Amino acid sequence: MRGVRVWARLLSVEQTVIEDVDFDGEAVVIAVRPGWRQRRRCGVCGRRCPGYDAGEGRRRWRTLDLGTARCYLEAEAPRVSCRRHGVVVAAVPWARHDARFTRSFEDQVAWLACECSKRAVSELMRIAWLSVGRILTRVAAEKRASFDPLDHLRRIGIDELSHRKGQRYLTVVVDHDSGLLVWAAPGRDKKTLRRFFDLLGAERCARVELVSADGAGWIEEVVRERCPQARICLDPFHVVQWATAALDEVRREVWNQARRAGQTAEARALKGARFALWKNPEDLTGRQQATLAGIARTNEPLYRAYLLKEQLRQALKLPVEEALALLERWLSWARRSRLPAFVKLAQQIAAHLSGIAAALGFGLSNARTESVNTRIRLIARRAFGFHSPEALIALALLSLGGLCPPLPGRGC
Ligand SMILES: [Zn+2]
């Protein structure tokens, strides 16, 4: 009797009867059956229902390794007939529906996927990255069903981002108050965004006070239609992104000129300068600082573009009054800069001034939006290899949406 309790604890299973433990030469195989109350329940909804047949007989679920050996739970997998879901395989207390792994195995995979590299997860758990994708989708769907992250949304950020080298896009929604990612879906168009507001429902839409976005027309249109009371802001983070893009345009132009003029050494230096120009000055390495100093000496237009970008970034960090005053001066400087990319940027910023002012006035945390944004991009890069955007979205919601399960056996 004591042995059985030890096994139940080791395997982290509940409502499960341990029948037998065997070692088949390669793996530990543990014969189990659902406890009395867990029998004959629909695999989808968990309701009690009449039995249908024996299904495909006994099957195995991979569970956490025992020491260094693989371990499986083995049990009958009968089918039941649910009034709502028809003939389905009966639920088992140790695994999610349709899974080949136990709940504790899947929870550990999800936790690891949020914390470690792709390779670490695959090697440690001895599973293919594609299986990881399916596990994450199941875990995220279950967590979402038990808690609605769309409740209490007051200030949200809507963003679009590309994954898979710019071919595919996601629309994501972030809660500015909690900093959590609350929703994501493939696509970037009005139809996709309307699905979010459908899910939110009229009552909760009416409570949204502020929506920040990247200045895209399609987002503003849908927000005006569904949340007419909400103030639309432009995330200062995106304004800095525009400036970084303008700076890159100047760099490419100067680089092309140098190349055409046959100044190969200079062209090479400019190519390598990309990161020094992009980074915030406080994060520059010694070598990058030297690169930048070199540009200041030899390349006046490029250095001017760099200063324009930096001053804009600094201005947007200030309290609203000071920021707007500085922004006015910045605009006239940019217009006179003789750098076409920055003249254009000045026009773009002038057109969005009220949205920027609103964001600064509401004290939207630029750092937080930027950090969520950067982390989603990193996740998108890691999720490369999942074939479906659903797996990427699941990973993003688990790591950035507060849905990640605790490690098995550690409580909440
Ligand atoms: Zn059912």
Query: How close is the Cα of 47 to the center of ligand 1, in Å?
Result: 6
Q: How many residues does the chain have?
A: 412
Query: How close is the Cα of 2 to the center of ligand 1, in Å?
Result: 36
Q: What does 144-213 look like in DSSP terms, one character per residue? A: HHH--TTTT--EEEEEEEEETTTTEEEEEEEETTT--EEEEEE--SHHHHHHHHHHHHHHHHTT--EEEE
Query: How close is the Cα of 83 to the center of ligand 1, in Å?
Result: 7
Contact 49, 81 (CB under 8 A): yes
105 pLDDT band, cuts 50/70/90, is very high
**Does residue 28 have a pLDDT over 90?**
yes
Query: How close is the Cα of 85 to the center of ligand 1, in Å?
Result: 4
412 pLDDT band, cuts 50/70/90, is low
**Does residue 305 have a pLDDT over 80?**
yes
Query: How close is the Cα of 87 to the center of ligand 1, in Å?
Result: 9
366 pLDDT band, cuts 50/70/90, is low
Share of the chain above pLDDT 70, in %: 97
Per-residue pLDDT, 293: 81
Query: How close is the Cα of 39 to the center of ligand 1, in Å?
Result: 13
Per-residue pLDDT, 165: 63
Q: How many CA atoms lie within 13 A of 11 on its CB side?
A: 31
142 pLDDT band, cuts 50/70/90, is very high
Average pLDDT over every residue of 177-188: 90
Assessment of whether the complete model's pTM goes beyond 0.85 = no
Per-residue pLDDT, 3: 78
Query: Minimum mean pLDDT among 19-23, 152-156, 276-280, 314-318: which range?
Result: 276-280
Per-residue pLDDT, 262: 80
- Spatial separation of the C-alpha atoms in residues 394 and 410, rounded to whole Å: 22
- Spatial separation of the C-alpha atoms in residues 64 and 69, rounded to whole Å: 9
167 pLDDT band, cuts 50/70/90, is low
Average pLDDT over every residue of 287-314: 86
Query: How close is the Cα of 57 to the center of ligand 1, in Å?
Result: 21
Query: How close is the Cα of 141 to the center of ligand 1, in Å?
Result: 17
Average pLDDT over every residue of 275-279: 77
- How many other β-carbons are positioned within 10 Å of the β-carbon of residue 152? 11
Query: How close is the Cα of 92 to the center of ligand 1, in Å?
Result: 13
Compute CA 399 distance to the chain's CA centroid, rounded to the nearest angstrom. Answer: 7
Query: How close is the Cα of 55 to the center of ligand 1, in Å?
Result: 16
Query: Minimum mean pLDDT among 88-92, 198-202, 313-317, 379-383: which range?
Result: 379-383
259 pLDDT band, cuts 50/70/90, is confident
Average pLDDT over every residue of 179-206: 94
102 pLDDT band, cuts 50/70/90, is very high
Average pLDDT, the chain: 89
Pairing of strands 181-186, 168-175: antiparallel
Tokens at 131, concatenated:
């299986």
Query: How close is the Cα of 96 to the center of ligand 1, in Å?
Result: 14
Query: How close is the Cα of 14 to the center of ligand 1, in Å?
Result: 21
**Does residue 164 have a pLDDT over 70?**
no
Query: How close is the Cα of 398 to the center of ligand 1, in Å?
Result: 26
